[in-house]
Structure 1
Amino acid sequence: MKTYGDANSGNCLKVKWVCDRLALPYTWIEVNTLKGESRTAEFLKLNGAGQVPTVVLDDGRALAQSNAIIRYLARGSDLIPADAYDAAKMDEWLFWEQNSHEPFVAGCRFQMFYLGKPASDLDPDKVKRGYAALARMEHHLATSRFLVGDSFSLADVALIAYTRVAHEGGFHLDGYAALRRWISEAERALGLPRVR
């Protein structure tokens, strides 16, 4: 399997982390999106949206969108709850991550980390919505070890990607004890070094 991704992108790292945790063989192909490498004619044949991550399976079929990819790769593993309701709750977090967390937390990080803008230049509405997403996670994790009960799942993989680097987007987690505890546990579950 070939994995096309940007090693600075949380969406791409989700795929790498799932592959590593499940010992799935893959070749990482670094794609510099800022240099337009995901917009070449060759890449657009793999993913017409011109986005990373994109994986090309051993049979030549391509798959895009980080959460769809990790959902496919983790089928039959302990990263997807066996209970149908718990699996649906995991999916609920996956959809929420892309709609209510990533556009704001990762969007602000992109502005600061990739484009070098100061926090003062961030869109105040995006900052507000990013903090709202982090507050929702804090509230939930105050009574739950992981996002879906006591078991680490793809929901945690999806949300740790940008939450652990939220400070790179100007978000301060000092008042988020449950979230900080979860970040440490999720990093340990994935064998990641601590970001902070």
Structure 2
Amino acid sequence: MKYQVYGDMLSGNCYKIKLLLQWLGIEHEWIHVDVLTRETHTEAFLALNPNAKIPVLVIEDETGKKEVLTESNAILNYLAEGTPYLSDSGLARARVLQWQFFEQYSHEPYIAVARFINKYQCLPKEREEEYYSKQEGGHKALKVMEKQLAAAPFFIGDNPTIADISLYAYTHVAHEGGFDLTPYPHIQAWLKRVEQVPGYVSME
């Protein structure tokens, strides 16, 4: 298989894909897409993803046939199939999905959005109220994570999975959204463990 990834490394959702590809040592072509200049709204990009969002994975088989897959956690599940980063057993796999759904619905809407408003929009006055409203929800998610990581080194036990990738992406830059991780020692220790996984690459 040949892989092309359309994304931006400073986007947590795109960084998830890059991190797993590096962990797995999978060769791929990375095509940078600038969301801030609306490159996701070009005719060529919309032909790949009508939803105008990154990341996008293009999969080409040995016959030249191409398939397109979108949504970061769906891409993670596809790439991790048959690897140590995604269990093939029902309950363990469901627990990975549980944390990925948590990330998308209880974590990302607060921490990632606050980061975007602060880091990329320089906290404009018209979004200040929205920015500060994200803090409570973000800390609620961090408290849930802290409790889980007090019981195990990774989210599904003793070894990293794509659940860890999903949650690491925006958590390790949470400070850019105004979230102080000092009260969360288990999260801080977990971040360091993720960074020790062979193949780790930093967001850049």
Query: What's the TM-score, normalizing by structure 2?
Result: 0.91
Matched, 1:117 2:123: yes
Paired residues, what number? 195
Question: How far, CA to CA, are the matches of 2:203 and 2:183 in structure 1?
Answer: 19
Q: Does the aligned pair in 2 maintain the 1:184–1:194 contact within 8 Å? A: no
Match of 2:71 in 1: 65
Matched letter for residue 110 of structure 2: F
Q: Deviations over 1:42-99 (max 9, x none)?
A: 1000001000000111131111000000100110000002432111101100111011
Question: How far, CA to CA, are the matches of 1:26 and 1:122 in structure 2?
Answer: 41
Question: How far, CA to CA, are the matches of 1:65 and 1:24 in structure 2?
Answer: 19
> Of 156, 163, 168, which aligns to 1:160?
168
Question: How far, CA to CA, are the matches of 1:46 and 1:79 in structure 2?
Answer: 27
Q: CA RMSD in A?
A: 1.8
Matched letter for residue 81 of structure 2: R
Shift of 1:193: 5.1
Question: How far, CA to CA, are the matches of 2:203 and 2:171 in structure 1?
Answer: 12
Unaligned runs of 5+ in 1: none
Distance change (3 Å), C-alpha of 1:118 and 1:170: farther
Q: Does the aligned pair in 2 maintain the 1:108–1:122 contact within 8 Å? A: no
Matched letter for residue 115 of structure 2: R
Task: Report 1:38-53 matches (<5 A).
Answer: 38-53=40-55
Shift of 1:122: 5.2
Question: How far, CA to CA, are the matches of 2:20 and 2:40 in structure 1?
Answer: 22
Matched letter for residue 20 of structure 1: Q
Runs of 4+ in 1 over 3 A off after TM superposition: 192-195
Match of 2:134 in 1: 126
Question: How far, CA to CA, are the matches of 1:39 and 1:137 in structure 2?
Answer: 35
Matched, 1:85 2:84: no
Query: What's the TM-score, normalizing by structure 1?
Result: 0.94
Q: Deviations over 1:94-134 (max 9, x none)?
A: 11101110010000000011111179925233110001001
Question: Which one is further off, 52-61 or 109-118?
Answer: 109-118
- Secondary structure at 1:57 match in 2: strand
Unaligned runs of 5+ in 2: none
Question: How far, CA to CA, are the matches of 1:172 and 1:69 in structure 2?
Answer: 30
Percent sequence identity over aligned pairs: 37
Q: Does the aligned pair in 1 maintain the 2:57–2:70 contact within 8 Å? A: yes
Shift of 1:191: 2.1
Q: Does the aligned pair in 2 maintain the 1:187–1:194 contact within 8 Å? A: no
